[in-house]
Amino acid sequence: MFRHGIAIVAITRRGVETAVKIQAALAVLEMRSKIYAPKRYLREGVIPIEQKLDEFFKATYSTVDALVAVMATGITIRAIAPYLTNKLTDPAVVGVDANGKFAISLLSGHYGGANELTRLIAEGIGATPVITTASDSLGKQSVDELARTLHLTIMNPKSLVAVNAAIVDGDRLALILVGDARIPTDTVHGYTVEKAENVKEAVEIANAYQAAAIVTDDFVPMETASKPIVVLKPKRIVIGVGARKEISEAQILNAVYTALAKVNLPLERVNSLATIDIKRDSQSIMSATEKLGLKLEFVSIDELRALRHEDLSPDSKLVLEKMGVGGVCEQAALIKAGKTPHLLLKKQKLKGVTVAIAEGE
């Protein structure tokens, strides 16, 4: 999350001091950020704002995943108002007062992750988190929060208001899994989890509730629905692995579980494990994949060499010398993740195993 980075913007000397604390707290969590401030408040690590504040927000708004505005909330709202689009594409916006007493989730609280970022900042700098989304204030899980944490694409966002309203009102809701759709049901709260063989059956089940969310890769015939339904399509997630010849099954499993924990990703949401095709005879990789309950996919050296992607780490000289390609795990994951892939986790080196995680459509 926040793979395009976080912009921390301050407009006073005290605000810059708080911004530095926020950046330090995020760095501990391996979340990268940049601090911006007027020239007169520059210090090491702070980037100068060369234009007027509203022009800065215009230039920055669509280029980052999150904005942390260390300033009065009114200033922030007026600055970003012209650029608001919708809750699925707007960046997360968090407001923090110059003294660092309060962190306020202002925009894209659920799907954009502002609520989570607010909590992390508040914990990191000792501030009070202020989160006003209705479901959170009631301790309930909204559909867009569910979609974000479980890596699901919301196919019909116009239905979100009606379904989330049903959640807040305490109505009976169903989360319906179609076919072989997999999610960790123990993390789902406030929904009755149902299973359906096909989308027709899923809609019939949904009609017995006040509202529902259907998890499927297929088109849902909404003309037969009598209740509000949000359709959630699982994103494709692939773990890429590179390993030394003598590596053990246990080492691969440890690397995979460590990688999943780093991005808080449940194993149930992973589609496959991918590696280079010269590992077809690796018993340790095959047995580890089987134990994980995943499909094992192979990628050729030519495919790995041909891949160009902005998320890729610099080539490894050692791997390039031995295998003729600059890396395996990131490339394999991106290639097998489907359309418009990106890395959820860049290459991690873990005792003879390299592992990365990619997500695509």
CA 320 to chain centre: 31
Q: Is residue 307 a contact partner of residue 315, using CB atoms and an 8 Å limit?
A: no
- Regions in the chain scoring below 70 on pLDDT: 134-139
Could you state, in order of their start, the residue ranges of all structural domains in the chain? 6-132, 143-234, 236-360
Q: Is residue 175 a contact partner of residue 191, using CB atoms and an 8 Å limit?
A: yes
Q: Is residue 104 a contact partner of residue 173, using CB atoms and an 8 Å limit?
A: no
Domain covering 6-132 assigned CATH 2.60.120.10 in the classification: no
Backbone angles phi, psi at 243, to 5 degrees: -150, 150
Report pLDDT for 139.
Answer: 66
CA distance 221 to 230: 12
Q: Is residue 337 a contact partner of residue 237, using CB atoms and an 8 Å limit?
A: yes
Report pLDDT for 134.
Answer: 62
Q: To 5 degrees, how large is the angle CA 360–CA 59–CA 96?
A: 85
Query: Counting Cβ atoms within 10 Å, is residue 327 exposed (0-12), middle (13-18) or buried (19+)?
Result: buried
CA distance 305 to 62: 31
Alpha-carbon separation of residue 172 from 136, 176, 228, 236 (angstroms): 18, 13, 12, 29
Domain 236-360: assigned CATH number: 3.30.420.180
Topology of the domain comprising 143-234: 3.40.1390
